[in-house]
Amino acid sequence: MAVIISLIIFPLFATFDIENRFNYSLSKLQQMHGLIIRAFLCRDKMGAQMSLAKATMVESMIRKALRPIQIRLDEIHFEPSRFLRRIFNRNHRHIIYLTSQGNFFFT
């Protein structure tokens, strides 16, 4: 029962969390984009600075929302599916492995 829950239910909650964070970030990016355009088109210097200050606050909210995803992506080598793939495909050696940073590893 514990294996079924950890293989099916836990990844669903993680996927929902990531999806919600991205949707939130995209809506805030749209708001930030509007604030920057408003600041650019504003004739009043004080109004432009207020719009840019609001855009900066929205940017910090976006960074705060996406921070847990960046931490999870940094720890992705502990992912269970990759571990299982490594166990079952030990005999299959690949010549070149590409990582997300663009580094090449030759085996």
Where in the chain are the domains?
2-106
Q: What's the pLDDT at 70?
A: 81
Q: What's the pLDDT at 31?
A: 94
Asked if 96 and 105 count as a contact pair (C-beta separation under 8 A), the reply is: yes
49 pLDDT exceeds 70?
Answer: yes
96 pLDDT exceeds 70?
Answer: no
Determine the Cα–Cα distance for residues 39 and 52; give it in Å rounded to an integer.
6
Q: What is the pLDDT of the chain when averaged over all its residues?
A: 77
What number is the average pLDDT over the span 11-36?
86
Pick the more confident residue, 8 or 41. Answer: 41
Report the amino acid identity of residue 30.
Q
Give the SS3 label for residue 104.
strand
Asked if 58 and 31 count as a contact pair (C-beta separation under 8 A), the reply is: yes
Determine the Cα–Cα distance for residues 1 and 16; give it in Å rounded to an integer.
22
